[in-house]
Structure 1
Amino acid sequence: MQSRETLSPSLTKDSMKIHRKSSDLPHSRPERDLAQFVCLFFQELIFSMEGFKPFGWYLTLVQFGFYSLFGLVELQLTQDKQRRIPGNTYMIIAFLTVGTMGLSNTSLGYLNYPTQIIFKCCKLIPVMIGGIFIQGKRYNLADVSAALCMSLGLIWFTLADSKVAPNFNATGVLLISLALCADAAIGNVQEKAMKLHNGSSSEMVLYSYSIGFGYILTGLFGVGGLGPAAAFCSQHPVTTYGYAFFFSLTGYFGISFVLALIKLFGALVTVTVTTGRKAMTIILSFMFFSKPFTFQYIWSGLLVLLGIFLNVYSKNQDKMKLPSLADLRNMVLTGKKVRLLSQNV
């Protein structure tokens, strides 16, 4: 059976408050999607610079710094400035956030950009696994089928990329896979923490990214990677820090929207919404940046989209009184009409 979550009256009230507050930001669907497209455009633009690819962790440091600043400003504009979520929970969330964003940025030094995005489209798979182990959720046949389609599409896309992409490297696959595992844990931990402690999205952004900034800064100092990265960026301030600012600003709008969406609807629905946007991002990436292309990208991408469709179908099954996959299978095998829920009196 599919898990169902019941929000307390106080949480529902706070969720409505987050929804109203987020309307002041570009969180409506068209504006939010535009912000994310611009964010990913600047991300690929930064990594297309010659010599920048080794400095993915430094970009993550700058990104975390901007996010912390934006979160502080937003929190100061709200009436409720009290921290509700415990500090040790933020330590865990910050560590996972550093892992997913740092590894994701670093993977661009090894992977074709559309390949990285198609991996992110399949975040549903580790999210489901994380939901089972972290929150004890159970998923129906449609969700499992969606994960299977995404897995097969992902494997096919990766094999195609390994044949045509000159900069394909298995290290990139490992990095983005680890990033997705951390990302899956983040969504479930954030969902559990925000519902348990009734925390706001601006609070979550401020504390998780400011603590994460300290993690990355300490790590770069430890490995001696801070100096070379800062020296390179000082030679190209506009195309590094300038692009990073717009990359972080538009990304922050998307992060705030995702956190509000997680609190209102859960991690799995959030992944479904953001995955649709990523599919369009792949198309725009091929349009704006020259890169090798093969029709296997299309077929494997369609398989991933089928997985997205199955997931959306599952989420709307009860609301729209749609037949389950088992009912559809029986209808095809027996040739008989399946009695839909809408036919019940």
Structure 2
Amino acid sequence: MTKRSSLELAVCVAGIYVCFLSWGVLQERVTTRRYEHPETGEQQRFKHFVFLNVVQSAIASAVALLYLATTSLKGLAWPSTALRNKFFQLSLVSVCAAPFGYASLGYIDYPTMILGKTGKLVPVMLMNILLYRKSFPWQKYLVVALITAGMTLFMLMNPKGHKSDKNANIPLAGKLWGITLLSINLLLDGVTNSTQDEIFRTFRNVNGFLMMFYMNLFSSGIMLLFLGFSDPFIGEFSGAIAFTRMHPQVLFDILLFGLCGALGQCFIFHTIERFGAMILVTITVTRKMGSILMSVFLYNHSLALGQWAAVLLVFSGIFVESFAKGKSHGPSSDAKKDGNAGSVDEKVALLKEDEDRMGMNKDDGVDVLNDTRSNGARKRKGKK
């Protein structure tokens, strides 16, 4: 990996960490805070989660549209039917995944759900293999195994872990059903991430912000349709509007929550475009480990010996990933590629393929090709 790519990845990691740590705090604030009516003093909690997701998707779509409009109007063109279908599929799967995660909490406790989420790398890899016949180098399987095993061991070795009283009396069949719901949630997440990878491989003119715009646009539409049809029965939309009128201070928290999530999505979609879904999921999974370690050092919490071993496993996985990328993108491999006699035609094809995406001027492309051909001719002449 080049220094520029490493710096770009570091910025993405920092952006994801900062935005989604803040997003988590704001999410907890919106969903757990008791908002007081300015006149009656009545206190209520905001429980309209679909409405909350609609607002977040709408804000994220607006942020992506603003970026595209100020950088390249070409990127705003209505996508082809095939690409539009892919975006709609992504949005539908993403919208359907969340309810399974929420429903699982009725049968399993929160730590169990978090434990399941730490294994998200596995379904992402599995869906890439099953749906798109993608193969991975052996190092990638090792990385997934190390990080998943490390996060699982860390959660299981928690000395302060305890079972929730709420779920203590649930029978085994109920807990198995909860795990089934969580597994469906993870598989749908895997479908989403693997399909995002496939879109970037198949459609060369797609960038992260274009995907972010259309995914959130379609997601907002799907959820608004749900709110419209279901409101006479469950009152989700009308209840949310009534709550915001009764407690206007919740609007500021909701908008800040949506904006923070939208900024985080900017880093997420850029990471998927440039580095792939596996790197993104590695970042999001290890973010939890980073948060835990920060808490340990800042607040003098103690970890069991087994948990330190788990930390070592996770960082071993990260080291293997970094080492493999550095080796595959090192200067020796680049030099070897440049020296190949048959590389001129490949470079012509690549330049033509990437011309629109990179914004390369055609004259620049001709100069590069002429330099490449002249270098090749000098090498052949020298050999003679």
TM-score range, shorter chain: 0.5 to 0.7
Residues 194, 137 of structure 1: alpha-carbon distance in 2 compared, 3 angstrom cutoff:
closer
- Which 5+ residue runs of structure 1 have no aligned equivalent? 1-15, 322-345
Moved more, 129-138 or 67-76: 67-76
Residue-by-residue CA offset, 1:221-255 (whole Å, 9 max, x unaligned)? 3252413344344444434x322322222222222
Could you say which residue in structure 2 is the equivalent of 1:133? 130
Please state how far the C-alpha of 1:94 moved relative to its aligned partner.
0.8
Alpha-carbon deviations, 1:31-86, whole Å to 9, x = none?
A: 45322221222123333335658533332122112222222222222322213353
The match for 1:92 is: 89
With over 3 angstroms needed to count, the CA separation of the structure-2 counterparts of 1:148 and 1:33, relative to structure 1, is closer
Change (3 A) 1:269 1:152: closer
The amino acid across from 2:242 in the alignment is A
Return 34-43 or 141-150, whichever deviates more: 141-150
Query: Aligned partners of 1:100 and 1:320: how far apart in 2?
Result: 39
**Residue 258 of structure 1: how far off its partner (Å):** 2.0
Structure 1's 188 and 144: CA in aligned 2 closer, same or farther, altered over 3 A?
same
Cα separation, 1, equivalents of 2:274 and 2:102 = 28
Q: How does 1:26-41 map to 2 (within 5 A)?
A: 29-41=13-25
Deviation digits for residues 176-218 of structure 1 (CA, Å, limit 9, x no counterpart): 5433322221122122223322212222122111111121222
Corresponding residue number in structure 1 for 2:285: 275
Q: Do residues 238 (structure 1) and 244 (structure 2) align?
A: no
How is 1:288-299 mapped onto 2 (pairs within 5 angstroms)? 295=304, 298=307
Contact 2:60 2:263 survives alignment (8 Å): no
- The residue that corresponds to 2:37 in the other structure is none
Determine the structure 2 residue equivalent to 1:58. 51
Give 1:67's aligned residue.
60
Counterpart secondary structure, 1:164:
coil
Alignment partner of 1:203 out of 210, 228, 241? 210
Residue identity opposite 2:249 in structure 1: V
Task: Answer whether contact 2:209 2:270 (CA < 8 A) is retained.
Answer: no
SS of 2:254's equivalent?
Answer: helix
Residues in 2 aligned to 1:41 and 1:112: alpha-carbon distance in whole angstroms: 20
Tell me if structure 1 keeps the 8 A contact 2:128–2:134: yes
Give 2:119's aligned amino acid. Answer: C
| Cross-structure match for 2:77 | 82
In 1, are the aligned partners of 2:64 and 2:210 still within 8 Å (CA)?
yes
Hey, what's the Cα distance between the residues in 2 that align with 1:126 and 1:183?
Answer: 8
TM-score normalised by structure 2 residue count: 0.62
Distance 2:12 2:128 in 1: 27
| 2:164 aligned partner | 166
Rounded Cα–Cα distance in structure 2 between residues aligned with 1:46 and 1:296? 37
Query: SS at 1:77's partner residue?
Result: helix
C-alpha contact 1:117 1:278 (8 A) present in aligned 2? no
Partner of 2:119: 122
Matched, 1:47 2:31: yes
Which amino acid in the other structure matches residue 186 of structure 1?
A: T
8 Å contact kept, 1:60–1:102: no
Would the aligned equivalents of 1:150 and 1:307 in 2 still touch at CA under 8 Å?
yes
TM-score by length of 1: 0.68
Q: Which amino acid aligns with 1:128?
A: M
Determine the structure 2 residue equivalent to 1:326.
none
Q: Which amino acid aligns with 1:209?
A: N
| Superposed CA RMSD | 4.2
Determine if contact 1:56/1:106 at 8 Å carries over to the other structure. no
**Structure-2 residue corresponding to 1:192:** 198
Match of 1:255 in 2: 265
| Greater Rg by CA | 2
